[in-house]
Homo-oligomer: A and B are copies of this chain.
Amino acid sequence: MISVLLVGNGNVASHLRNAFLQSDDVVVTQINSRKLELVPKADVTIIAVSDDAIGEVSSKINNSFVVHTSGGCEIDVLQNNTRKGVFYMLQTFSKDKKINFSEVPFCLEAPNQKDLELLEKLAKSIGTKIFKIDSEQRKALHVAAVFVNNFTNHLYKVGNDICVEHKIPFEILQPLIQETAHKIKTLSPEKAQTGPAIRNDATTIKNHLDLLNKNQEKIYKILTKSIQNGH
């Protein structure tokens, strides 16, 4: 049995608590990060608060092993004087949406091998996809996630804007969007690339540019160039 203390009451903490409650191998307690006068002991203390608050919250905790859940922070933002680790789940957590933890990648870090094994055991109690990722890798992963999530979503927005401007229902693009994401489950993004840029179809590219506003044009040109240069 692993005892877990969750510090925080945002989306990550709430979803984790619900998942741990289902596990026979974990006993879980949750506390508000603003009430750290009486901190219960636990094998693993998981700080699930905003990036900016991790340092201060961790400095007030004396439990033996303290981890944070942030993709954007190094392990050393933790200010506890005891053992440290990271328990990062690479997924978007929305308040009302149930998380299927068996699909969530757990990215674990701990300098101490025994601690790493403990985090692995904890992750396995609710999930299946478990990876050892150090702070340097996690930083890179975080950037990569910005490209495939935040920036991709912005391209959806540009597509939507073009549709709205021309009175086209955005739903026409939905199957293509789903298929584009689906495709790279089995094909590398490099092999999945299609379109006028990779075909070097200058006529189509010119026609497209004529239709765009200044900002869309900039994005179109830089991504076309990047595709054509094989980046």
* A139→B173 contact, CB < 8 A: no
6 extra interchain contacts, Cβ-Cβ under 8 A, other than A140-B165, A150-B198, A156-B189? A131-B169, A139-B207, A149-B177, A152-B177, A159-B189, A160-B189
Q: Is the CB of A153 within 8 A of B184?
A: yes
Instruction: Flag whether A13 is at the interface (Cβ < 8 A).
Output: no
Indicate the member of A72, A155, A177 with the most B CB atoms within 10 Å.
Answer: A155
Among A21-29, A79-87, A216-224, the stretch in contact with B: A216-224
Size band of the A side of the interface? Answer: 35 or more
How far apart sit A184 and B176, CA to CA, in the bound complex (Å)?
12
A contact set with B: CB distance below 8 Å? 51, 72, 90-92, 103-105, 107, 129, 131, 133, 136-137, 139-163, 165-169, 171-185, 188-190, 192-198, 204, 207-208, 211-212, 215-216, 218-220, 222-223, 226-227, 229, 231
